[in-house]
Every structure is written in C-alpha cells, then in structure tokens.
A and B are shown apart, each in its own frame.
Chain A
Amino acid sequence: MTTSAQAGARARNSALLPATLRVVELGESVSTAICGRLLAKLGAQVTQVAVAGAAGVLDESGPFVGDAAQRTSTLGRWLRDGKSRVEVDLDDASARENLHERLRSADVFLVAGTAAEWSARGLSADRLAELAPTAVIGRISPWGESDESAGLPSSELALQASSGFMRLIGDLDHEPVRLGGHPLRSIAALLALDGVMIGLFARERTGEGSRFTTSEFEAAAHAEWKIATFAQAGLRRERRGEDNGALVLRCRDGHFAAYYAPRDWGVMKKIIGDSRLDDEAFDTPAGRIENQTRLVALIEETTRTMSKKDLYHATQAHGIPAGYVATVTDLLESPQYVSRGFFEPVEVPGVGVGALPDASWQVFGPEDTVA
C-alpha cells in the first residue's frame, strides 16, 4: 500500500441506516455483492449466505494476487469486506433450519439469480416472505427470467454488447470496445439499492414488506436511456468516436482528457499556443470533427512535451472541464482522495496490507467544519 494512501485522515462517515438493520445476500453475484457492500457502507449488518457446492463466482474471478499456493481474488476480497459470511448445505435439515432462523430476522434480502433457481432450493420469494414478512426482497438475475436468455450466465462483455453500450465506445477503425471493469453490473447494484431503499421507506409507513426484481440487462437499458430517446426523435445517430468536443491527448507521462464547448475553442488554442490551430479548417465544431486526426496530431506536438497533471491544472484554471487519465497508482496518490481519506487499509492474508476505496459519499452535520 502506498504511503500517500495511508497518509489520508480517516474520518469519513457514510452511515445512514440503523446498525440493527440486517441484510442477507443469498447466493453470489457481482451485482448483489456490490449492492451488499453499499448497504454495509450505509451501516447495515450484511451477511452473505453461500450455498455449499455452488460456484464461488467472486473467488474464481480476477484480478488475483499472491502466489499459486495462496492465490486471492481481489474481487472477492473487496466485495466480502465488511460482511460476515456463512456457507450452508441446503441438503442438511439442521443447517437449513439454522438458516431459516437467520432469515427470520432479516430486513432485506438480496437474491442472486432467478426465481426458478431459488425455488428449486426451497427458498422462493414466497418462502422468504413467509419467514420474514416485513422484509424487502430484491432479486437480481443476469438476463431476466422469462425468455430464452434466462439461463445465461452473467457476463460484463455480453451485457455491454447486447445492450448497445459498447456500440458507442471506441472508433470506427476498430471493433466496438468495452469499458473496463464491471460498469453495467455496478449499475444493476445501484438500482437494486434504490429498490431496497424505496421498499424500506414504504415499510416505515405501512409496516409491510415488499418484493422487487431486476436484471443486469434491464439495468443496462436503464443506463442507456438517452439512446432510445434520440432514435425515436429521429435525431442523428451517433457513431462511436464521434464525440464533438471530446479530446484525449497523449502527454509526456500518459493521457489528458478535456471536453470543450464551442465557445472554449479560443481558450484551448491559447493554452496550446500553436498558431497552426488558427487554420480556418478548425474554426467550427464541424470543421474540427472533419479534421480531427490532423487537429489531434497538431495539438499533441505540444502536449507530448507536457505532463498530464500540468495540463489538467492549466485548462481547469481557464474553466474548461478537464482531467488526466488517472492510473490506479495516480488514484492512490491523488491529493484530492488523500485529503478526503478516501482509501481504507485492508489486510490480505499472505500478501500484505492494501487499500480499498471507501463509500463515495460522506454525511456531514452542522457540527462539522465543512458545514
């Protein structure tokens, strides 16, 4: 773990839920596990119930650290942090009864998979509601439950492909390309968290439990809501690589990204300081798109001599939205993150002490100096 990451003051408060609120994750998927982590960050007690014999999705997925003898999935370590975990043999009557006892005290269930899978295990939504009548029961399947896709496994690449997400990413000289990590499964987790909180809000008033379903695919559609609205309005269909105003530029030490409005073009020219940018071919947004390759090549003659962070500060000083392409090392050393105490230490047995990002929200009260 880097010195900078360790140096940040750890004084964040993200708790909003009663510490007595009990959440049970049934089964395992990236989206339910992220949702559970967020609930833990909100202050709930989260227990993951793993079914004996079922695939351990998190532990089998990379990235991995450690040697072959003690290989650890950082995905699993991250998404189990702050939770308790029990493994249950559902064929064992006494283990099943112990599980039922645990479920009776649950306020929230996050169920990974389809109704059919859990009914076959004797834990249908009806059964869960019988055990915990006032619980909020949320089920997240990868692809939904009612057509030929219901049995397909969760896959971030397939989600980005089938939902239209990656069709807009990349450039036309190459194949569509995915966004790294788990963006759509993450959004499924966030929307499930919305469902949980909506259910808990309603329960405060009615005293009754509720049930909701969603799928990672449905969440992908939710995240791409703009594409369909444009298509129906007959507006121009955007193709990948055609983002007007977006610049990603090579620098001495990486890449820099800026999004300038047409009115900011003059400022951009001033920052770069190359008179060749006064060419009338670049005077209009349409002209800059048409001549994007030449434009970027010209600008990069300057930016290749500059550091990405210097460019970031220079453009921001002129009010232009800009950023540098932060590596994870950059994140761990970011003055902004360090000042906010964003990373928390976590031990990985046999490997060492690393860092995890905290919740992305903080809660302040009138007594806090920031207020």
Chain B
Amino acid sequence: MSGMLEGLRVADLTIVTAGAGATQVLADFGADVIKIEGVNRPDLYRGGMGGDIGDDVAFPPFRTANRNKRAIAVDLKTPEGLEVVRRIVASSDVVAENFRRGVVERLGLGFRDLVAVRPDIVLASISSQGVTGPSSGLRSFGLTLDALGGVMSYSGYDSDSPIWSSARINYPDQTANSLAPALLIAAVLASRRDGLPRWLDLSQRETVTALMGDQVLRTSLTGENPVPTGNTTPDTIEWLTPSSGDDAWVAISLRSAEELELVASVVGADLSGADLAGAGDDAARAALVRATTERWSASRSDADAAARLRAAGVMAVPVRSGEELLDDPYLRSRGWWQEVSTPDGGTERQRGWAVAFDEGGPDRVRRNGPRIGEDTVEVLGELGYDADEIASLVDRAVVSGPAHARQG
C-alpha cells in the first residue's frame, strides 16, 4: 500500500463521482478517508442514480470511486448523529462535500460550525457554480455544465448541433475529481503551516471554462466565437477516415501541411496534378488527400490502415471503444489495471493510479468499495465510544452497520 498520504484524514461527505472520485485518489495514496452516509440516505450512486440502491455495492462504478475508503452510516438529523460526525471532524484535516448549496449549513456542518470543532479545518466544497453568485444554488448535471462551461459551444458536427461529452464520460465530473485531490492536499498543507482554517470553493463550471483559456482570450480580443467544426479545427489538419467493418474509423492528425505529402505517398494521392500544381493551397491539397484516403481506407481494417500510415510517419490511430483499453498492451505493461474482487466472488479490473510513482505509490487496492456502514463500529471505537454506547446508537438507529442499514 502507499503511505504517501499517511497522516491525512478526510471526513468524506461526497457523493456520486465529482466528489467521490476525488477522495478515491486520496484514499489510493494512503489517506484515511471515512465515507459518511445517512442511515436512510446513502450515496445515491450506490444505485447508479436510478433510485433503487438494491445490493449496496452492486453498481460497478461505485466500487471504483469508493475503494480504499472506510464507511460509516449516521443519521445526521439527530443530535447524537451530528455529534458522531463532529468527532470525526475533530480528528480530520479536511471535510469534503459536493451537496447543493446550503445543505451542509442545514446539517449543522457549515464552515463556521466546523471551525468551532476544529480550528484549522479545511472545508472543500465541490459545487456546480461555486458557493457565491446568483447561480450558486442551481442544479446541474454533466450535460448542463458542458453547456454552461462553454466547451459544448465548439463541440459537435456543426453550429446547429452542439454536442456534450455523454453520460458515460461526463467531462465536468472528471475534471472536478481530477483537480480536487491536489487542491485538498494544498489546502491541508497551508492550514498545517499557519494553523488557520480554509474554505475551498471549487466550481465545476469554472473548471470547464478555466481549461479553455485560449478560446476565451481569442474571443475577448476579437469578438469571434469558436463554433463546432466536427473533427477538424480551423488551425489543424485532422479528420476521421472510414475503414472496413461496422462503424470503424481511423483518426489522422497532421502536425503541418507538409505532412500531407506523407499521407499522399501512402494512399496514392497525386499532389502534382494540374489542378493543384503551383496553387499552394493547403486546403485544396488537404481535401484531395482526404478524399483519396477515404477511398483507400474503406477496404482496410482500422488497425491496418493506421499502421501503414504510422509507418510513414503519420499520426494515425483507430477509433477504439473504451472496453478495448482493458486489453491495451501499454496499459498492461504498466500494470495499470488493478484487479479487485467483486461481491459475487469474481474479479474486476479497475482503473489504475492517478500517476505512477517510482517508489512509495500504491501497489494494490487494499480495500474494496465499502458497504453502507461497513466500518461504523470500527470508526466509533476509534472515536472513543465504548461497546455499550455503540450498541445503544445502533439500537436507536442513530448509526448503522451493514446488517442494519437500509438496503433499498
């Protein structure tokens, strides 16, 4: 296991993927992440957001996003339940949450409440549009953040068909859960240096926009907005060419117009023809090469077409499906996939580590994604509750373990 984040303790109120995927990275590297769920309101991602929790670890993505964490189930609406969480906070560096604005305050776990419990606490709030401003209380989903963040305005086939990153990918959640681990660590280090608390306000919408500074700068200077242009942009020579088979494609990406010659040499395009000779028109040359490439590739497999182009020095790759990554030779050679047992007695491969350290990084998933309240008794014991007190809390449904937690 990794001990790189040994000594970092996280009171984890996050749900779904924008938040839980972030604390997963911390847990992978050795932080003690305690996932806090309501006895009657567990993380809705356990049921894939479909409403029915069912078997609480049956949903595969939940198991990945919550691996290496411990879980406690607490009724946060009771004074004793809130006291349990306060004790967890008192021994934690950071409280992470991604509820709608106002929820943590209503629970009695707002920033000032937390500071009263632990004077150097970090509250990390991952939210749709930030904790301030006229839109801070609005709801979101990946689609709406792709739209509001701006990336959708220049993604798609044409101006009439802006396209989002899809439910499976949900780009705004992936940017948030990739950025947040670093920010949480930086905030904890800062609070340890000066003993002061911090409220970290991470806006998912702003994160999408912050990663397109080139387009923002251009529009602010020229007034011109980028628009969807398919797989080709105004500043690149790139396209997809069809290959044999069902819905099979090869992506071609050239670094310069000069590389059109390389493609032409492979696919047999004649760039010396009378209609092109001396014209010096890269667009016309590109159109000719592209049309010839499409005829050439249509009768070849995507792998064969891409390999022939790459052999000539052209950047070309098949358009693969995500499942194919499970057999990707490079990822296998890196030992990237992590084999983890599943509740049905089998195994599954989960994504690897955020980065690979030469020394000190994790070598395996040490804990599977937890059941609801799987570690309730263990955590309460660490907080100083004795066996009788724990039994009483369980009996009164202030807390629950797996056997007592609601399963649907």
Which residues of A come within 8 Å of B, CB atoms? 1-2, 5, 16-18, 34, 37-38, 42, 61-65, 73-75, 77-79, 81, 125, 138, 143-144, 146-147, 149, 152-153, 155, 157-158, 160-170, 172, 174-183, 186-187, 190-202, 204-205, 210-214, 217-219, 221-233, 235, 237-238, 240, 243-244, 246, 248, 250, 255-259, 316, 319-332, 335-337, 339-340, 342-343, 346, 348, 351-352, 354-366, 368, 370-371
Contact = CB atoms under 8 A, between A and B. Distances in A.
A232 B348 contact: yes
A181 B151 contact: yes
A interface SS class: mixed
Given A181-B211, A201-B4, A246-B143, A146 B330 contact: yes
Contact of A177 (B139, B197, B230): B230
Given A199-B4, A233-B348, A340 B130 contact: yes
Contacts of B111: 364, 366, 371
Interface string B216-239: 111111110110101101111010
Interface in B238-292: 238, 240, 242, 247, 249-251, 253, 255
A241 to B, nearest CB: 9
Given A169-B166, A363-B198, A332 B216 contact: yes
B322 A16 contact: no
A34 B178 CA distance: 13
Contacts of B226: 63, 180, 328
Interface of B: 3-8, 17, 21, 25, 29, 60-61, 63-64, 111-112, 115, 129-136, 138-157, 160, 162-169, 171, 174-175, 178-179, 181-183, 185-190, 192-193, 196-207, 209-223, 225-226, 228, 230-231, 233-236, 238, 240, 242, 247, 249-251, 253, 255, 310, 315-326, 328-331, 333-334, 336-337, 348-352, 354-361
Contacts of B212: 180-182, 328, 357
Contacts of A227: 168-169, 321-323, 325
B225 A329 contact: yes
B320 A163 contact: yes
Contacts of B240: 161, 175-176
Contacts of B8: 201
A238 B167 contact: yes
A115 to B, nearest CB: 11
Given A177-B163, A321-B139, A336-B135, A17 B354 contact: no
Contact of B202 (A61, A256, A360): A360
Nearest to A78: B213
Given A146-B333, A361-B183, A361-B203, A169 B163 contact: yes
A311 B207 CA distance: 24
Contacts of B187: 16, 363
A130 to B, nearest CB: 15
B95 to A, nearest CB: 14
Nearest to B191: A16
B61 A230 contact: yes
A138 B357 CA distance: 9
B365 to A, nearest CB: 13
Nearest to B17: A226
B232 to A, nearest CB: 9
Contacts of A255: 147, 152, 162
A148 to B, nearest CB: 8
11 contacts: A175-B242, A179-B163, A181-B155, A194-B178, A200-B185, A232-B60, A243-B167, A331-B216, A340-B203, A357-B206, A357-B216
Nearest to B254: A155
Contacts of A225: 21, 61, 64, 350-351
B4 to A, nearest CB: 4
Contacts of B253: 155, 157-158
Nearest to A75: B214
A148 B124 CA distance: 42
B147 A161 contact: no
B213 A138 contact: no
Given A201-B5, A257-B146, A222 B354 contact: yes
Given A175-B242, A179-B165, A74 B214 contact: yes
A359 B180 CA distance: 12
A355 to B, nearest CB: 4
Given A158-B315, A198-B185, A221-B351, A355 B216 contact: yes
A257 B218 CA distance: 25
A163 to B, nearest CB: 7
Contact of B235 (A63, A81, A323): A63
B158 to A, nearest CB: 10
Contacts of A352: 221
Contact of A190 (B7, B175, B236, B255): B175
A335 B355 CA distance: 37
Contacts of A155: 238, 253, 315
